[in-house]
Structure 1
Amino acid sequence: MSEQADMDYENEEACGANEPHVDCSDAFYTSQVFECREDVFRSDTNKGSRGRTTFVLIACERSDEYRCRKKEFIRRDTGTRKCGCPFKLRCKPVVGGEGWMVKLICGVHNHELVKSLVGHLYARRLTKAEKTLIADMKKFMVKPRNILLTLKEHNVNSCTTIKQIYNARSALCSSIRGSDLEMQHLMKLLEDSWSVVRNHLLKELAKFSEDYIKLFGGMERFEELRMSLLVDGLTKVTTDKWIDITNMGYVIASRYNVIVVSLSKQQSMTFFPLRSQPLANSSLHRIICISHVYDNHFVEVYLKERCPLPSVALLWSSNCHPQAKSWPNPYISRMQHTRAS
């Protein structure tokens, strides 16, 4: 098998080097003997195509030609990275000794070499920790461009692009949806969402009951709010089970680590999380605005950037934890604008 490889790629012309080309032969001529096969791969970042254990061929990632999985399907709107690049190295065990040696078969690339690793398939791949971070930020509806900024703050050498963020978000959605169609998944979310939210808020009240008993002024009011979240899915939801946003705004903001803005004719206010320390970059904060309309209905409102905000909820300042005190700082001018108008 080793002899056959030498015969097939005896010279550069035989392995298909065409003009224009980039000759990298000088960089890969070496007499160095590597201790093991893994050391060969660590010394070279090209794509490896492994054969039998007698030797290993290392090819350019743009070698070979694109092969469509579906023969009858022809894609006309996209290109391919594959261009039949002839660059190849062969590494094999040293005869009569220990270690591996590398032989240059063809040192010519038939395409221009990239000047930067930004956008490169290998360099931009996400680590397990980065995928977890993207999943967490997606839950809080953080925009892709802000996710990318966060990743680069964590790793200044990151070569990840915005396209990779969108791909990761799409893969996450597909994994959650499973075999369901998008509409089937949406209908399940509509059925389950309210019960999930109420369950989350119940757990929040139970876990931090002492804080909320103090905030609501005693056990009686605390129990009223807790009971309002206990809803049997098989019965009608009466008015005593409606969420009181003037009180539950504190719970929602703290449970989901978001800023909740409540708008109504009677009283408008802004709720900040009670316990968490805010991110230094306020553009990563998530603001949810709920408006009370027609005296009987709540709707979500989408706010424009830098728009005025109502004042901080009355009980927030006296009940928030020390590390949460700085939440309102980036929004003081916007709240002052509301009071002035």
Structure 2
Amino acid sequence: MHNFEENVVESNESFATVFVESGYFFATEQLFMCFEELKQWAYNTGLNNGYVIVTQRSKTNVAGDKNKVFLRCDHGGVYKGKTTVRLAGTKKINCLFQLIAKYHKEEDGWKLKVVCGTHNHLTAIYMEGRELSKRLKPKLKVLLRI
């Protein structure tokens, strides 16, 4: 069962725009020792609440180490394909949800900040069809290799 607040902002006879606030699920003061730990926490928190969180882009310092990573909902962005969109459409619907992971040198760890906690779509009821939720976890990959 998902705990979310649903707000219908606009509606007329042909469409309705829905904004769902879920940023409070990701609000944490936790210090993560490595980026992979932070990313896994955000991914699991998203899945538990009906969203898939993906890496949008990252910034590196002069030494080439990641120091800032932008995470967002997999519905974020706009479809940029060269062919026409399938009849069913695209999952890219310019969702506003965004998180920033920053490395704090003085604390020697990563912190997560919610930039925009609002989605412009409802949560997924079933995660089975979502691409990222179908991937094997690293521990399962190791088992399959044996």
The Cα offsets for residues 185-232 of structure 1, whole Å up to 9 and x where unpaired, read as xxxxxxxxxxxxxxxxxxxxxxxxxxxxxxxxxxxxxxxxxxxxxxxx
Runs of 4+, deviation exceeding 4 Å: 126-129
Aligned runs of 1:187-226 on 2, under 5 Å? none
Please list, as runs of the form range in 1=range in 2, the aligned pairs for 1:155-304 lying within 5 A after superposition: none
Instruction: Give 1:237's aligned residue.
Output: none
Question: Residue type of the partner of 1:64?
Answer: G
In the TM superposition, what are the counterparts of 1:26-175 in structure 2 within 5 Å? 26-45=24-43, 46-52=53-59, 53-68=66-81, 70=82, 73-75=83-85, 77-125=87-135
Aligned counterparts of 1:99 and 1:50: Cα–Cα separation in 2: 19
Amino acid at match of 1:91: A
Query: Which residue identity is paired with 1:63?
Result: G
SS of equivalent to 2:102: strand
Q: Percent identity?
A: 30
Tell me the TM-score normalised to structure 1 length: 0.30
Q: Kindly indicate whether structure 1 or structure 2 has the higher relative contact order, using CA contacts under 8 Å at least 6 residues apart.
A: 2
Give, in whole Å, the separation in 2 of the partners of 1:120 and 1:93.
30
Q: 1:125 to 1:101 in 2, by over 3 A?
A: closer
Counterpart amino acid of residue 120 in structure 2:
N
Aligned to 1:201: none
Structure 2 CA distance for partners of 1:128 and 1:107, relative to 1, 3 Å = same
* Secondary structure, aligned partner of 1:51: strand
Q: Determine which structure has more spread, i.e. the larger CA radius of gyration.
A: 1
Cα deviation per residue 1:160-204 (whole Å; 9 max; x = unaligned)? xxxxxxxxxxxxxxxxxxxxxxxxxxxxxxxxxxxxxxxxxxxxx
* 2:58/2:70 contact within 8 Å kept: yes
Is residue 18 of structure 2 the alignment partner of residue 20 of structure 1?
Answer: yes
Secondary structure of the 1:104 match is strand
How far does residue 21 in structure 1 lie from its aligned partner after superposition?
0.9
Q: Structure 2: give runs of 5+ residues left out of the alignment.
A: 1-16, 44-52, 60-65
| Superposition TM-score, scaled by structure 2 size | 0.66
Q: Name whichever structure is richer in strand by fraction.
A: 2
Measure how far apart 1:76 and its partner are.
Answer: 5.3
